Amino acid sequence: MSAFSERSEPTNSQAFSRLQKETQVAGFFVSVEGVDGSGKSGMARRLGDWLHEKSIAVVSTREPGGSAGAERIRELLLGSGGILDPLAEALLFAAARADHVRKLIVPTLEAGGVVVSDRFSDSTIAYQGAGSTVDMAVIQQLQQIAVGEHRPDLVIVLDVDPAISMERARKRNGDAGVKDDRFEVEGLAFHARVREGFLRQAATDRSRYVVIDASRTPDEVWGDVRRAVRDALLKNGMELTNSLSLAPLPSPR
């Protein structure tokens, strides 16, 4: 359970006052990225829970979504059935992100909290830019308008072969009895372009991006995610305490 419930819109001044008192690090933003079926949503939830257990004030959120307005846009985007032009999708993602940034992310960071987001701007670059081939200059311009200087301090890219990730997504949706969303119905070639889009982004700034092999077991992936976040928080000025020390992980079998 995070300091605020997932996808909440924190506008209560008392809640933010409490957040400022609880936090041990001055504003830190982590996004978890990857193709559908990479396991990113589970890792983002696990990360938020772990930070909360370590008495770090954390808000877990997602994209598209995270604020009331952005959640409405999410319903339109993921339920569109592919009827929207890719440029129209990019515009809607930018609108949702602008609302999310201003109503949830910036207030949390200014209060000294940690934000963990299941997807952020790299997903638009990968999906609409690399996957749907919208002009990357247009994508970058939209990103600048929506995000400005509020980039994640750490971007975790969960990398996996699209053939594996698509099979995982189908199984997950089948087990849950839900239909594939707008992007899950795309073919292997689309998801291969998306994967390459994420990897190209990661190569542009190795100080902010960490690429993790997500073809392994969830516990093995989690061990790397946890280390990456701990190291980034320490680098950001958090003192090493017992609450952030890591017990040795079991060797892979």
pLDDT 10s digits, 104-119:
999 999 999 999 999 9
Q: What are phi and psi of 180, to 5 degrees?
A: -65, 145
- Phi/psi region, residue 37 (left: phi>0; alpha: psi -120 to 50; beta: rest), is left
pLDDT in tens, 189-199: 999 999 999 99
Neighbours of 75 (CB within 10 A): 11
Q: Which long-range contacts (CB under 8 A, 24 or more apart) does 176-185 make?
A: 181/36, 181/78, 181/79, 182/77, 182/78, 182/79, 182/80, 182/81, 182/82, 183/36, 183/78, 183/127, 183/131, 184/36, 184/37, 185/82
Tell me: pLDDT of 1 over 70: no
Q: Which CATH superfamily is domain 13-242 in?
A: P-loop containing nucleotide triphosphate hydrolases (3.40.50.300)
Model confidence pTM above 0.85: no
d(CA 4, CA 58): 7
pLDDT for 186: 75
pLDDT in tens, 69-97: 999 999 998 886 678 899 999 999 999 99
Are residues 19 and 57 in contact, defined by beta-carbon separation less than 8 angstroms?
Answer: yes
In the block, tokens 């990857």 appear at 34
Neighbours of 31 (CB within 10 A): 26
Tell me: pLDDT of 202 over 90: yes
Look up residue 32 and give its DSSP letter.
Answer: E
Q: What are phi and psi of 124, to 5 degrees?
A: -70, -40
Instruction: Tell me which amino acid residue 99 is.
Output: D
Average pLDDT over the chain, rounded to an integer: 84
Per-domain boundaries in the chain: 13-242
